[in-house]
Amino acid sequence: MRVESNSKKSPAIRALRFLGRAVPAALLAGALAACGGGGGGGGGGSRAPEPCDSQNSRGEGFALGSCAATSTNVFQPIEANVVVNGTDSYTLTLGFPADLAPLGGTTGFTATNRPPSELRNIIGVLQGQAYEDPAQGQNLTPPYVAITDFFRAADFETDTPLPEFRFASFGTWEKFAGSGLDGFNEGYLGIWFAERPGPPNVVPNAPTVAGSYSGRVVGLVGDGPGEPKAIGGRFGFSAPITIQVAGGRITEAQLGELTISSQPAGGSLTASNLAMNPVVFRESSLPPGPLIGALASGGGNEATITSGEYEARFFGIAGEQGAEIAGRFRFTTSNGLFGVASFGAIRQ
């Protein structure tokens, strides 16, 4: 991991959600706590690391079960269904595996659930809009459920707004069910994409001609089981993406640098690029149905994708078929990282 830049925001700004705050001393050094960016380790605790049930995988899915005390993350088959009801109005339904079913349920978010700190809107170096239930004050404390949406976003470091999506929304979610600061030790993190309300007759039809799409990615990445640990915790990341489409399918796509952010106690937000070879999408399946394909790595001497897949669908209306693409992917790397992400791209 190599540091690329320091935040241009004031160093006095508070940390992000679970990935961007300093770790409570009760958790061991190397554990991270707070979502959206990343966070440095805590002081050596007096107790041994406690195993987390969340690190026991129930099968591959597009979510992570995360344990800070052991710096372990695994895929979990948790399904997140998001309904975008309108401005500042969302309904998130989480479907957990059978033995974790009590963690599931439906949560509604409105403008009253917006966080008081802009840094809790950050994933990597992209600023979207977050919502937290129950509504939180300056100090975020479990238990809570949170969601972010990046259909409208800006580059946090430069304050540059990015093109707004008309038909698709996408982002991240997180659930920490424990209590107090120790509740940051174990959680579940994931991604989602969904249709936006407003335009009539939103359709998943493919475009009739080839074209190029440009957009953005937001995701969550952390160390998997085993040693050594590559990054020492769990982080949010962002990246640009370009997608080529022809014949109604994705023919190829490539991500730019995967950028994580972190804020050590008393420090400013800093951005770092993951030491990974370029991430690429292989050719997808054909519609109808979701576009499904494999992830791979471009050339280079850094970490590579060892397994990964994506799924996506077109969004648009009659006369503007395939105006946008949104989807999700997961991956593992040669240095033991597990990651999940959502993405959206607009036809150029």
pLDDT greater at residue 64 or residue 45: 64
Q: Which of 105, 106, 112 is nearest to 89 (CA)?
A: 112
The predicted model gives 274-293 an average pLDDT of 96
The predicted model gives 5-31 an average pLDDT of 32
Q: Which residues pair with 271 in a beta bridge?
A: 5, 261
State yes or no: pLDDT of 10 exceeds 80. no
pLDDT-wise least confident of 47-56, 58-67, 105-114, 282-291: 47-56
* pLDDT winner (highest mean) among 37-46, 161-170, 261-270: 161-170
Q: Which H or E run contains 130?
A: strand 126-133
User: What whole-number distance in Å separates Cα of residue 238 and Cα of residue 222?
Assistant: 14
Ramachandran region of residue 68, left (φ > 0), alpha (ψ -120 to 50) or beta?
A: alpha
Q: Which residues pair with 154 in a beta bridge?
A: 127, 161
User: What whole-number distance in Å separates Cα of residue 207 and Cα of residue 227?
Assistant: 46
pLDDT per position as a tens digit, 195-253: 999 888 889 999 999 999 999 999 999 999 999 999 998 999 999 999 999 999 999 99
What token pair was written down for 189? 């993190």
pLDDT (0 to 100) of residue 21: 34
Cα 252–chain centre separation? 22
User: What whole-number distance in Å separates Cα of residue 176 and Cα of residue 65?
Assistant: 10
pTM score, two decimals?
0.88
Give me the phi and psi of 191, to 5 degrees please.
-135, 165
State yes or no: pLDDT of 41 exceeds 80. no
User: Which residues, other chains included, contact 48 with Cβ-Cβ below 8 Å and sequence gap of 6+?
Assistant: none
The predicted model gives 173-189 an average pLDDT of 96
User: Which residues, other chains included, contact 330 with Cβ-Cβ below 8 Å and sequence gap of 6+?
Assistant: 60, 61, 62, 75, 308, 309, 338, 339, 340, 341
pLDDT-wise least confident of 83-97, 195-209, 210-224, 315-329: 195-209
Using alpha carbons only, give the angle 214, 247, 169 rounded to the nearest 5 degrees. Answer: 35
What's the first-to-final CA gap in the chain, in angstroms? 32
Split into its structural domains, the chain has a count of 1
Band (pLDDT 50/70/90 cuts) for residue 267 is confident
How confident is the prediction for the chain on average, in pLDDT? 86
341 and 329 in contact (C-beta within 8 Å)? yes
State yes or no: pLDDT of 303 exceeds 50. yes
By residue range, what is the domain housing residue 332? Answer: 2-347
pLDDT per position as a tens digit, 108-141: 999 999 999 888 999 999 999 999 999 999 889 9
pLDDT (0 to 100) of residue 48: 54
pLDDT (0 to 100) of residue 114: 98
The predicted model gives 315-340 an average pLDDT of 97
pLDDT (0 to 100) of residue 47: 53
Q: Which of 23, 20, 28, 2 is nearest to 268 (CA)?
A: 20
Strand, helix or coil for residue 325: strand
Torsion, Cα 97 101 103 109, to 10 degrees, reads 90
- Please list, residue by residue across 170-199, b when 16 or more beta carbons sit within 10 angstroms of its beta carbon and e when fewer do: bbbbbbbbeeebbbbbbbbbbbbbbbbeeb
39 and 19 in contact (C-beta within 8 Å)? yes
The predicted model gives 329-344 an average pLDDT of 98
